Amino acid sequence: MQGLSFSLLDKVNQTAEYCEIHSDCPLVQVDNHAPFCQLCVKNETVRRNNKLVSKAIYRDYRRNFHGVLKYDSIFDEEELRDVSFKSYIVDPGSEAETNLVKARQIAGRYLDRNYKANTIITGMPGVGKSHLAASMLRAVNENIEPNASCLFVSINELMRLIKDSFNNKESRYTEARMVKLLGNVNLLVLDDLGSESSFKRENREASEWVQQVLFGILNKRKRTIITTNLNSDELSKIYNPKLLSRMYKGIEKGDSIIKFTEKTEDKRKVVF
């Protein structure tokens, strides 16, 4: 080929020595450099390339499993990214302590991939529902074997981002992509269910579009942790029965309702 130089080949000289590993392969020398075995160099090059490929594959593997929680989660409170069971502070003998114990137990069940049941964490705002759900998710993300994808999503933020994508063709938060992502992860937290309907002036019923998005996600799922400020009666006034049936998959059988009552005070309450 025009422009290609073979001048380096003129400097390669075969020596009288042979490779200790490949006994039939004579060593060669370039200028005054140390003699070397061409087959050894070739094998080392292949080994290094394979190592680089393996690192890239492992990096992608980590991204597609452990990394989903870090890079794809949608938080409306950034501090939730770093919470854990250890940072969930409770008083001995309190309702919060009881719920913490139950949350740990349920998280342990989710380590078994064959465990198919949703979990609902319900109670007034500020009692630590989101903290508890995020802690459960983190525990599963760090301990499940083989690795599995876990995701935390604030429903309010999800709906806002999807709506923004309507006028932004470059957005990664299209309805189709988000329904697929949330529908396929191994364990999902849907945070603050029901609050998205409180922003409507005319009534508390969730919009048909919101219910369609949630149905598309939950219809594909059997392992979802849902937090909400509402009880079952209030949820039934907001969502249609088909969507509710998807929310309640396996809950009764799995005894997986964590409920906060007035016994637990709002941790964010300011007294003045």
Average pLDDT rounded to a whole number, residues 137-142: 95
Structure confidence by residue, pLDDT tens digits, 242-257: 999 999 999 987 789 9
Tokens encoding 99:
């719920």
Rounded Cα distance between 123 and 193, Å, is 12
State the span(s) of the chain assigned CATH 3.40.50.300.
71-259
pLDDT at position 197 = 58
* 67 within 8 A of 141, measured Cβ to Cβ: no
pTM score, whole prediction: 0.75
CA 52 to chain centre: 26
Whole-Å CA distances, 267 to 90, 109, 185, 225, 264: 11, 28, 31, 21, 9
Q: For residue 183, with 0-12 CB atoms within 10 Å meaning exposed, 13-18 middle and 19 or more buried, which class applies?
A: middle
Structure confidence by residue, pLDDT tens digits, 55-95: 655 555 455 567 889 899 999 999 999 999 999 999 999 99
Rounded Cα distance between 262 and 249, Å, is 27
Give the CATH architecture of domain 71-259.
3-Layer(aba) Sandwich (3.40)
Instruction: Give the least confident one: 27-41, 96-110, 212-226, 248-262.
Output: 27-41
CA 271 to chain centre: 37
For residue 187, list its beta bridge partners: 150
